[in-house]
């Protein structure tokens, strides 16, 4: 069985959802000369998952999907860092089958226009024939070979920030500064297992006991985060960091999907003043809300998860226009980009579909 992102999912004996976190963990880095081939990571034999590839503009394509929160992180970081000219963006259709994400209805003839493939699995199989794990987004594919280089969603975003410096825009913010890394990762030790993945533990629980445990952990963590954000504008420091991006992609999906579909229903985000203000603040910040497609998000979860929603009926609500209302969090101090600047407008060919986001009315 695969979950919505194509990650293999298993249930423990007590019905707890367990995410398969084994990835192709090659990295794209600045220390390998442009134009060269991949090199073994120090101390390895250079097998798949142990290679370093050069950060070279025009060489790679980011394979993503609007629906996926893990891919959404990569899309946000690419935009904030101004890497649109460094590597192109491929967006899959919002739904998939057991074989993988596909491009039906997205591009002419249902083919990715650069890699010329109908399904993401083709890029995985080009690298590893009969790839046995989940066909996941995000992934970075090498254009010439058509092969997936890495699908390690977390390390990928860190490397976008740290390894692509010469190709970033002027004014790109430092989302992962050395002096804040320990605190960012400390916060992530709460956010990833209990919030980002915690909503899935609720939604895919195979027993009442597993659901109850996941639900309690989710809300205990959200309470801690609410308290943390009650007197500070951002999770770490006085400007945006990767910690805020990691949390945003879950919070922005919470009321449209996780609250009802995954039974995470103690409260809606709109009913929690601190989190609702924080979410509006981020949504209205260039690079965040302008990357969201709520229709595709809902289509994905409600259509793909037939074990949870066998009718495949996609809800019309909730009303999301409130995301554009004043949030007042400027009073807490800080500035979104620190010493950096905001990114420019979204490229026309990368904008969410009109009518799928309050920033892009029909």
251 token code pair: 């919070």
* 213-252 pLDDT per residue, tens: 999 999 999 999 999 999 999 999 999 999 999 999 999 9
Contact at 8 Å (CB) between 131 and 124?
A: yes
5 falls in which pLDDT band (50, 70, 90)?
A: very low
Separation CA 152–CA 24 (nearest Å) = 6
Residue 53 CA, chain-centre distance (Å), reads 22
Give the DSSP letter of residue 297. H
Q: Of 146, 167, 188, which residue constitutes the final position of a domain? A: 167
Task: Kindly compute the dihedral angle of the four CA atoms of residues 276, 282, 284, 287, in this order, to the nearest 10 degrees.
Answer: -150
Q: What is residue 59's predicted lDDT score, i.e. its pLDDT?
A: 98
Q: What is residue 99's predicted lDDT score, i.e. its pLDDT?
A: 84
* 310-355 pLDDT per residue, tens: 999 999 999 999 999 999 999 999 999 999 999 999 999 999 999 9
86 token code pair: 């460094």
Q: What is residue 48's predicted lDDT score, i.e. its pLDDT?
A: 95
Residue 362: inside a domain:
no
Rg of the chain taking only CA atoms, in angstroms: 20
Angle at 209 (CA atoms; ends 205, 212), nearest 5 degrees: 75
Residue 37: inside a domain:
yes
Determine the straight-line distance between the first and last CA of the chain, rounded to whole angstroms: 37
Q: Residue 58 maps to which CATH number? A: 3.40.30.10
* 164-213 pLDDT per residue, tens: 999 999 999 999 999 999 999 999 999 999 999 999 999 999 999 999 99
For residue 46, the enclosing domain spans 9-167
Q: What is residue 12's predicted lDDT score, i.e. its pLDDT?
A: 58
Catalytic residues: 68, 200
Residue 304: inside a domain:
yes
Residue 241: inside a domain:
yes
Burial class of residue 49 (count of CB atoms within 10 Å of its CB; 0-12, 13-18, 19+): middle
Q: Residue 242 maps to which CATH number? A: 1.20.1050.10
Q: What is residue 263's predicted lDDT score, i.e. its pLDDT?
A: 98
Contact at 8 Å (CB) between 333 and 231?
A: no
Residue 301 scores a pLDDT above 70: yes
Please give the model's pTM, rounded to 2 decimal places: 0.96
Percent of the chain with pLDDT over 70: 96
- Give the CA distances from residue 174 to residues 30, 139, 338, 341, in Å, rounded to whole numbers and listed in that order: 17, 23, 8, 10
Domain match, 19 and 124 both = yes
98 falls in which pLDDT band (50, 70, 90)?
A: confident
Separation CA 77–CA 127 (nearest Å) = 25
């Amino acid at each position: 069985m695969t979950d919505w992102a194509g990650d293999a999912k298993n249930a423990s004996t007590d019905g707890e959802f367990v995410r398969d976190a084994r990835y192709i963990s090659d990295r794209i880095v600045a220390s390998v000369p442009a134009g060269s081939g991949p090199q073994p990571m120090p101390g390895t034999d250079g097998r798949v998952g142990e290679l370093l590839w050069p950060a070279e503009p025009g060489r790679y394509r980011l394979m993503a999907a609007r629906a996926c929160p893990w891919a959404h992180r990569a899309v946000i970081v690419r935009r904030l860092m101004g890497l649109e000219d460094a590597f192109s963006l491929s967006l899959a259709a919002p739904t998939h089958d057991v074989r993988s994400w596909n491009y039906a209805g997205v591009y002419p003839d249902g083919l990715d226009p650069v890699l010329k493939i109908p399904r993401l699995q083709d890029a995985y199989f080009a690298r590893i024939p009969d790839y046995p794990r989940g066909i996941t987004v995000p992934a970075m594919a090498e254009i010439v070979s058509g092969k997936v280089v890495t699908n390690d969603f977390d390390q990928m975003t860190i490397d976008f920030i740290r390894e692509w410096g010469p190709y970033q825009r002027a004014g790109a913010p430092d989302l992962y500064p050395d002096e804040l890394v320990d605190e960012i990762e400390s916060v992530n030790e709460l956010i990833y297992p209990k919030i980002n993945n915690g909503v899935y533990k609720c939604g895919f629980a195979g027993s009442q006991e597993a659901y109850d445990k996941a639900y309690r952990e989710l809300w205990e963590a959200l309470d801690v985060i609410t308290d943390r954000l009650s007197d500070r504008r951002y999770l770490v420091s006085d400007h945006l960091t990767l910690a805020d991006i990691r949390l945003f992609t879950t919070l922005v999906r919470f009321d449209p999907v996780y609250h009802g579909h995954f039974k995470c229903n103690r409260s809606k985000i709109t009913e929690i003043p601190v989190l609702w203000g924080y979410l509006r603040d981020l949504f209205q910040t260039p690079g965040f809300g302008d990357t969201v497609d709520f229709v595709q998000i809902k289509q994905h979860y409600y259509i793909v998860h037939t074990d949870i929603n066998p009718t495949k009926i996609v809800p019309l609500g909730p009303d999301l226009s409130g995301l554009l209302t004043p949030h007042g969090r400027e009073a807490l101090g800080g500035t979104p980009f620190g010493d950096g600047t905001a990114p420019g407008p979204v490229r026309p060919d990368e904008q969410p579909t009109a009518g799928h986001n309050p920033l892009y009315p029909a």
